[in-house]
């Protein structure tokens, strides 16, 4: 196990599946430019043997990550994702305060645009992409938003939130800096894959996984709540 990452938190495992709570900063797959950098599969292989990545999370995103423990399970799970039979729920800490409580962003996306390899809104060459958004909690300068993507385009949530005018906290690629003065409220991308619901590829039972907030995400929310709390005054008024 790399000294840079603690043992990966296991949310579920059986002979077919492995579900982890991926730490932020850890790539899901090998880095093509630097293959020696630790990634999810390299850290799990000594303990679980060969595993297959079913879907990916950005390096800076934490949360539920599903892996298959056989090629057959991998194919079955890929089919569920391709046919949109999987429910993914993210919690996003965004800059600003939306003027809506719920919103559906239906904007086509084109990936790998420009030298920064961004995902861009493109009504002509883009592929269909839909994300459902719901405000969970409001703070001064920030908002906690639930994001449920119907499709699975690269950087979909990041691009759709930016297009809606409320980019993720600490997302320099899509235009978000710290809100107000002082250091950023969270030191990395403000996105956490909170829930995942799938059908077990062998048993066909419905499985629901929840990834607790990592320390940095939880601390950011606590910091914002404390900052918004009015000063308490003791004694008779």
**Which pTM does this prediction carry?**
0.90
Between the CA of residue 206 and those of 37, 64, 74, 85, 229, what are the distances in Å? 35, 16, 17, 11, 40
At 222-234, the pLDDT tens digits run 999 998 776 533 3
Euclidean distance between CA atoms 119 and 106, whole angstroms? 14
* 108: Cβ contacts below 8 Å, ≥ 6 apart: 121, 122, 123, 126, 127, 128, 129
pLDDT confidence of residue 184: 74
Q: What are phi and psi of 199, to 5 degrees?
A: -100, 130
* Catalytic residue chosen out of the listed positions 4, 14, 31, 58: 58
Domains of the chain as residue ranges with CATH? 10-227 (3.30.2350.10)
> What span, in angstroms and rounded, lies between the C-alpha atoms of 73 and 198?
12
Confidence of residue 30 (pLDDT cuts 50, 70, 90): confident
Q: Would you state the pLDDT for residue 234?
A: 35
What pLDDT band is residue 4 in, cutting at 50, 70 and 90? Answer: low
Comparing 14-28, 120-134, 165-179, 199-213, the range with the smallest average pLDDT is: 165-179
For the question of residue 58 being annotated catalytic, the response is yes
Q: What is the pLDDT of residues 150-183, one digit of tens each?
A: 999 999 999 999 999 999 999 999 986 544 445 6
- Here the tokens at position 126 are 């883009």
Cα–Cα distance between 104 and 96 in angstroms, integer?
18
**What is the pLDDT at residue 125?**
96
């Amino acid at each position: 196990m790399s000294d840079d990452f603690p043992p990966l938190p296991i949310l579920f495992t059986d002979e077919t599946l492995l579900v982890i709570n991926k730490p932020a900063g850890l790539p899901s797959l090998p880095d093509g430019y630097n293959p020696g950098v630790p990634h999810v599969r390299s850290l799990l292989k000594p303990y679980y043997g060969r595993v297959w990545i079913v879907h990916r999370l950005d390096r800076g995103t934490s949360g539920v990550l599903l892996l298959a423990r056989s090629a057959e399970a991998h194919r079955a799970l890929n089919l569920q994702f391709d046919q949109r039979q999987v429910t993914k729920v993210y919690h996003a800490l965004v800059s600003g305060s939306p003027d809506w409580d719920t919103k559906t962003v239906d904007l086509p996306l084109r990936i790998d645009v420009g030298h920064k390899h961004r995902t861009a809104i493109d009504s002509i060459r883009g592929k269909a992409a839909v994300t459902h958004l719901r405000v969970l909690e409001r703070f001064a300068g920030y908002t906690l938003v639930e994001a449920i993507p119907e499709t699975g385009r690269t950087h979909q949530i990041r691009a759709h939130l930016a297009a809606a005018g409320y980019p993720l906290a600490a997302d320099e690629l899509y235009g978000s800096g710290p809100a107000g003065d002082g250091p950023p409220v969270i030191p990395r991308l403000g996105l956490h894959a909170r829930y995942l619901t799938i059908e077990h590829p062998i048993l066909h039972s419905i499985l629901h996984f929840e990834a607790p907030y990592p320390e940095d995400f939880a601390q950011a929310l606590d910091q914002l709540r404390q900052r918004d709390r009015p000063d308490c005054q003791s004694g008779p008024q």
